Amino acid sequence: MKLQSLKIIDHPVAKAYLTKIRDRNTSHFEFSQFVERLSMLLAYEASSGLKTKSKKIHTPLAPYKGVEIKQEIILLPILRAGLGLLGGFSRLFPDAKISHLGIYRDEETLLPVKYYFKFPELKNSRNASVFILDPMLATGGSMNFAINEVKIKGIRTIVVCSLVSAPEGVNEVLKLHPDIKIYTCSLDKKLNDKGYIIPGLGDAGDRLFGTH
Ligand code: PRP
Ligand code: URA
């Protein structure tokens, strides 16, 4: 595992929120609230590599040479569970364009099945940064599928944002895409024989939307 490509958010508030959403006694309403709060911390960390360009402004008292973000930001939640992270990221990037990618994992084969993709038209895809949002990085199949779809659009800067990751999934993503960076709140122990992350938090989509 290339350690410089993986950043684990080591923040006391993030750890406490993550414990809240792992807890099986947390209701789905509270689950979605804490996922949104946690996603704000994740968004802050995951955007630390963005580039800036200088911007001249005037404060009420004097001219000031400041900065603005250079890249165009695209937020791409993987449906459904990725929607839980969108609120926090949108607060940090209210002008971001939002791309939706619908993928579900076949429960037998664990392979990703695509059912929807909408990506914005960009004037300059080389100046864009895409943040792929999905709370769970398990086998890595869904994330690798998403990264491929985004690369086909000519995007070079891709940041993977997850709440809980399995070593198997992180390895799989970095093996195929050594050029991308993964931000996660936890690198858990392993996958079980059904492809669920242990200790994990269960099925993120079901817990988020109360469908279990
Ligand atoms: C979950 C999760 C990821 C995927 C991770 O989605 O949100 O997209 O599984 O598993 P992988 O790394 O093994 O591909 P799921 O298929 O349950 O769909 P949902 O979000 O619609 O519930
Ligand atoms: N998808 C989930 O929602 N949870 C897991 O643990 C693995 C895949």
Residue 212: predicted pLDDT? 84
Whole-angstrom distance, CA of residue 203 vs CA of residue 7: 23
Domain with 166 in it: 3-50+62-209
In sequence order, what are the beta bridge partners of 73?
Answer: 129
Task: List C-alpha distances in Å: 81 to 50, 52, 107.
Answer: 25, 31, 16
52 Rama sector, left if φ>0, alpha if ψ -120 to 50, beta otherwise: beta
Confidence (pTM):
0.97
Which of 205, 208, 184, 200 is closest to 33 using CA atoms? 208
pLDDT digit string, tens, across residues 52-99: 999 999 999 999 999 999 999 999 999 999 999 999 999 999 999 999
pLDDT digit string, tens, across residues 109-137: 999 999 999 999 998 999 999 999 999 99
Whole-angstrom distance, CA of residue 9 vs CA of residue 187: 10
Question: Is there a domain that residue 117 lies in?
Answer: yes
Question: Is there a domain that residue 55 lies in?
Answer: no
* Ligand closest to the CA atom of residue 137: 1
- Name residues whose C-beta falls within 8 Å of residue 145's C-beta, 6 or more positions apart in sequence: 103, 112, 114
Question: Is there a domain that residue 41 lies in?
Answer: yes
Question: Is there a domain that residue 57 lies in?
Answer: no
pLDDT digit string, tens, across residues 131-190: 999 999 999 999 999 999 999 999 999 999 999 999 999 999 999 999 999 999 999 999
* Ligand closest to the CA atom of residue 206: 1
Question: Do the beta carbons of residue 40 and residue 85 sit within 8 Å?
Answer: no
Residue 4: predicted pLDDT? 79
Residue 48: predicted pLDDT? 96
Q: Is the CB of 171 under 6 A from ligand 1?
A: no
Question: Which residues have C-beta atoms less than 6 Å from ligand 2?
Answer: 81, 136, 138, 195-197, 200, 203-205
Question: Is there a domain that residue 56 lies in?
Answer: no
Residue nearest to atom 7 of ligand 2 (CA): 196
CATH number at residue 31: 3.40.50.2020
Question: Is there a domain that residue 131 lies in?
Answer: yes
pLDDT digit string, tens, across residues 11-48: 999 999 999 999 999 999 999 999 999 999 999 999 99
* Catalytic machinery residues: 105, 109, 203, 206
Question: Is there a domain that residue 170 lies in?
Answer: yes
* Tally of structural domains, the chain: 1
Residue 155: predicted pLDDT? 97
Q: Is the CB of 84 under 6 A from ligand 1?
A: no
Whole-angstrom distance, CA of residue 42 vs CA of residue 89: 8
Question: Is there a domain that residue 37 lies in?
Answer: yes
Whole-angstrom distance, CA of residue 144 vs CA of residue 168: 12
